[in-house]
Structure 1
Amino acid sequence: MALRFHKMHGLGNDFVVIDAREGAVAMDAARARALADRRTGVGCDQLILIGPADDADVSMRIFNADGSEVSACGNATRCVPVLVGRDVTVRTAAGLLHARLEEGGAAVDMGPPRFGWDEVPLAYPMDTAALPLAWGELARPAAASMGNPHLAFFVPDHMAVPLEALGPEIEHDAAFPERINVNVATILSRTHVAMRTWERGAGLTQACGTGACATFASGRRLRLLDERVRMDLPGGTLTLSEQDGRILMQGPATHVFTGETEL
């Protein structure tokens, strides 16, 4: 059976997007993992399944490259209005998101950050503003959820951190029952941050939308950042702002090509 798909990306965080609004497409961990394989499949960081929704314009399911299903993906959410061609409300497992089409990309209301230890979630109560934990040179991160669990380490030089080595160790630490995404960020000014991310189930990526939002939210909570910032990621730049306790994200989203593959 031939499967039609769209290859898209947000700042180099790349997706295989399947539009299943007209007809259901069966998806599970094994199939998602096969499609995401960069050697024997199409290749992507995440597989995105767009479908109908009772209470929104579309629904979105998200599978990491390792086949694990997750609740949110900021960069993929920006791709949805680009694919559909208009502003949309998107039903995700993390809640309802509003995405507005803009020239070259989209703006998304990502909702309020969650800082409760059981909301992230953590395995036991800890101060999520500065977890009493350390891995090598990385210590006392802030923790937050933007639909996905994130740690934010504010460091002098985010490029000097051996994230390839520390990322997997932190991701699978027993303190994080749903695993964890790891962000290392350098605050260049109160309105400018540079960041890299190790994504659970995908590894190093060019950009992480929910990671950028969680890091910004944690920086705001710690009074390190103003209410609007430029966030530089390896794949490009996002603009993040806080309005009435909600995190707004603006940035590029690109449709690369449409293809077919055999399921």
Structure 2
Amino acid sequence: MRVDFIKMHGLGNDFVVLDARARALPAIGSGFARAIADRKTGIGCDQLILLEPSEVADFRMRIFNADGGEVEACGNASRAVALLHGSAATVETGGGTIAVEPQGKGATVDIGEPRFDWDAIPLAYGMDTSLMPVGWDRLDRPGAVNVGNPHVIFFVDDTDTVPLDVLGPEIEQDPLFPERVNVNVATIEDRHHIRLRVWERGAGLTRACGTGACATAVHAMRRGLVDREVTVTLPGGDLTIAWGDDNRIRMTGPATEAYRGSFEWDDFA
């Protein structure tokens, strides 16, 4: 079975997109997702994205990380999918229904409302998620936010000096986070600007994480450290995050189609 794919990225966070809205595809398992994502023997990506019909939105987006695990949300992929779709749409995800709208060479995504309750993150036990009494080596007293997927956020003097490749997997797998967690380390430059690096659950260090930018910005806003609209600078570039009076988060940034191709399904099954 020959299958078409679209290779896309948002600020260097890259995806293989399979469009099954008009033509059904076989079931995707973790082994298939890992094989496609492999950068030496597959197509190579941080996430495999599957588009399907939906009964509650214009279409459904499923997200598989490079380790094969299916996750609830991906902000950068949402912008890429908006660009691919070509018009405003509602999208069903594992983290809830979102709204996307192409904007020039990128898109604006209405991520929805953040959740702060400890059991919505989720955490293994109750605590204040605005200033958590926990720590790992040099990283301590983080905040936690669920923006469709779980994030923990640490504010540091200089994000570039944190050994996130070492601490990221340790924190991601900590028993405190029963569904694992995305790990964000951020530096507040001023009230309009945050620098950010992210260890992404199931994908590792990425050049950008849209939901991480949303979670970090909202946590900084909740703490009163920045204004309600900020620029978040990641290694791959900038995103604009706004948290409106309606309690909804809106992310704006670029997305790019890199190329298109096809493969034999059985080569990766």
TM range (shorter): over 0.9
Report what 2:8 is aligned to.
8
Q: Which residue of 1 aligns with 2:234?
A: 233
Aligned mates of 2:133, 2:35 — CA distance in 1: 38
Q: Which residue of 2 aligns with 1:191?
A: 192
Give runs of ≥4 in structure 1 deviating > 3 Å: none
- SS where residue 56 of structure 2 aligns? coil
Does residue 64 in structure 1 map to residue 73 in structure 2?
no
C-alpha separation in 2, matches of 1:46 and 1:63: 5
Distance 2:191 2:36 in 1: 41
Equivalent AA in structure 1 for residue 22 of structure 2: E
| Cα distance in structure 2, aligned partners of 1:196 and 1:226 | 20
Partner of 1:111: 112
Structure 1: runs of 5 or more not aligned: none
Structure-2 separation of matches of 1:50 and 1:138: 37
Residue 24 of structure 1 and its aligned partner are, at CA, apart by 1.5
Alignment of 1:1-263 (within 5 A): 1-25=1-25, 26-243=27-244, 244-263=246-265
Aligned amino acid, residue 56 of structure 1:
A
Structure 1: distance between partners of 2:205 and 2:189:
22
When normalised by structure 2's length, the TM-score is 0.97
Normalising by structure 1, we get a TM-score of 0.99
Aligned residues: 263
How far is the alpha carbon of 1:55 from its aligned partner? Answer: 1.9
SS in 1 for 2:120: coil
Deviations 1:184-207 (A, max 9, x none): 000000110000000010000000
| Root-mean-square deviation (Å) | 0.7
Residue identity in the other structure for 1:22:
A
The CA deviation string for residues 193-251 of structure 1, in whole angstroms up to 9 with x for no partner, is 00000001000000000100000111111111101101000001000111121110000
- Could you tell me how far 1:38 is from its partner in structure 2? 0.6
Q: How far, CA to CA, are the matches of 1:86 and 1:73 in structure 2?
A: 19
CA drift of 1:91 comes to 0.6
Deviation at residue 127 of structure 1 after TM alignment: 1.1
In structure 2, C-alpha distance between the alignment counterparts of 1:2 and 1:154, rounded to whole Å: 47
Any idea what SS the aligned residue of 1:5 has?
Answer: strand
How far, CA to CA, are the matches of 2:28 and 2:5 in structure 1?
Answer: 13
Given residue 72 of structure 2, which amino acid in structure 1 is its aligned partner? Answer: S
Sequence identity percentage: 57
Q: Counterparts of 1:96 and 1:230 in 2: how far apart (Å)?
A: 24
CA distance in 1: counterparts of 2:257 and 2:59, whole angstroms = 18
Give the match's secondary structure for 2:100.
strand
Offset, 1:167: 0.4
Cα distance in 2 for partners of 1:138, 1:9 equals 30
SS where residue 151 of structure 2 aligns? strand
Question: Match for 1:144: what amino acid?
Answer: V
Q: Secondary structure at the match of 1:185?
A: strand
In structure 2, distance between residues paired with 1:88 and 1:252 = 17
Shift of 1:164: 0.5
* Residue type at the aligned position of 2:238: T
Hey, what's the Cα distance between the residues in 2 that align with 1:87 and 1:186? 33
Aligned partners of 1:214 and 1:181: how far apart in 2?
A: 10
Q: Which moved more, 1:82-91 or 1:249-258?
A: 82-91
1:84 Cα deviation from its structure 2 partner:
1.3
CA shift for structure 1 position 93: 1.2
One-letter amino acid matched to 2:262: E
Which amino acid in structure 1 is aligned with residue 21 of structure 2? Answer: R
